[in-house]
Amino acid sequence: MGKERYTIRDIADMANVSRGTVDRVIHNRGTVSEEAAKKVQEVLEKINYEPNLIARSLKAHKDHVIAVVIPDYSDDYYWRQCANGIHRSEKEFRQFGIFLQYFEYSKTPEDYNEKFSQAIALDPDAMLIAPVYYQDSLELFHRLEEKRIPYNLINTPIEEVAYHTFIGQDYRKSGRVAAQLMNALAPHDKKILVIHVEQHLENSTHLHEKEQGFKEFYNDHNITQPIEVFTFKEAQQLNDLRTVLPGTAGIFMTTSKTYLLADHMREHENIKVIGYDLIPKNVQQLKEGKIDILIHQNPISQGYDGISLLSDYLIYKKEVPKVKLLPLDIVVSENVDCYL
């Protein structure tokens, strides 16, 4: 029961070698005679040695720099939450010698590429990237791979590149969840709308996947309710909905811009609305009953895990998963407080 914990010194004594030799055996480095190695190995196995990680990490780590490339979050609640998660992790790992450098891009593909390049120029030990506009940046990713800089992706997966870990959600599943909920809430004798509000849809495969998943659910269950898809690049285009809303049972908004709908729905209060993200405007409308359900994309966890996984890798060389999928949290007005 009283599992004793042996130290390097104990092992050295038992094997009649010096502490340095024990260390060399444990880490497979330096030069050790076969004889000594064998003796130490035997002791190690016999006592089932587990190193004291506290002591190990007390030893001065060399500093590591992680470059963080995310959208400017000065007036964007979602990305600010993500940044908060990053800050939290940064604070936790600072004493282990992890330092972050932030590169915030204003929301254009050009600036994204610009800031991404700057980050690479810094020659960091690792990178965390939110590749919202990924299309033209594939070349940059290849440069990272050439320089052997490990990088994690958050929020937007890119199949074509050799990222370390992707942290985000399964967007097809996400669409399916939305569909199941919509199907449970909305009358079946009217049409359903799927609405994307996104300036650069060509870059947003994940929105597409949500739509696919949504339709897939209806197909799988042989529900023949009409589903119409709209894509708006600008908020004001939502005016076009005026002629479409009559005869609509529910609306699935694929982005956090869900709150934009309310202004256009004053005479259609019974249309069910399902959208994304716990940004304040959405939360307020959820509480007011203008939005029925929000799917939570966990931006805080995305940021936190994104940095934590890289740090564990840099410091401890811990193995990391290729994909870390965050749960698809269903949020209604009564449980929204749990997630804020």
Q: What sign has the CA pseudo-torsion 5, 9, 12, 15? A: negative
Residues 19-48 binding DNA (CB under 7 A) are 19-21, 23-24, 26-27, 30-33, 35-37
CB of 33 to DNA, least distance (A): 3
Asked whether position 334 contacts DNA by CB under 7 A, the answer is no
Q: Which two three-digit tokens encode residue 124?
A: 């960091």
Strand order in the sheet with 329-331: 227-232, 191-197, 248-253, 272-276, 293-296, 329-331
Nearer to its own copies, 139 or 334 (CB): 334
Stretch that binds DNA, among 53-61, 197-205, 251-259, 327-335 (CB under 7 A): 53-61
Q: Which two three-digit tokens encode residue 2?
A: 């009283």
CB of 147 to DNA, least distance (A): 21
Stretch that binds DNA, among 4-12, 139-147, 226-234, 239-247 (CB under 7 A): 4-12
DSSP letter (8 states) at residue 108 = S
Residue with tokens 């966990």: 298
Asked if residue 183 lies in contact with residue 218, where contact means CB atoms within 8 angstroms, the answer is: yes
Asked if residue 280 lies in contact with residue 218, where contact means CB atoms within 8 angstroms, the answer is: no
Length of the chain: 340
* Binder among 38, 55, 94, 187 for DNA (CB under 7 A): 55
Which entry of its own copies, DNA, none binds 19, CB below 5 to 8 A by partner kind? DNA
- Using CA atoms, how far apart are residues 257 and 196, in angstroms rounded to an integer? 9
CB of 334 to its own copies, least distance (A): 4
Nearer to its own copies, 161 or 309 (CB): 309
Which entry of its own copies, DNA, none binds 138, CB below 5 to 8 A by partner kind? none
Nearer to DNA, 262 or 320 (CB): 320
Asked if residue 119 lies in contact with residue 140, where contact means CB atoms within 8 angstroms, the answer is: no
Which entry of its own copies, DNA, none binds 329, CB below 5 to 8 A by partner kind? its own copies
Nearer to its own copies, 96 or 230 (CB): 96
Asked if residue 299 lies in contact with residue 82, where contact means CB atoms within 8 angstroms, the answer is: yes
Nearer to its own copies, 133 or 214 (CB): 214
* Binder among 46, 56, 200, 221 for DNA (CB under 7 A): 56
- Parallel/antiparallel/unpaired status of strands 329-331 and 293-296: antiparallel
Q: Which two three-digit tokens encode residue 77?
A: 């609640």
Q: Which two three-digit tokens encode residue 136?
A: 């033209």
Q: Provide the binding-site residues for DNA, judged by CB under 7 A.
A: 5, 7-9, 16-21, 23-24, 26-27, 30-33, 35-37, 51-52, 55-56, 58-61
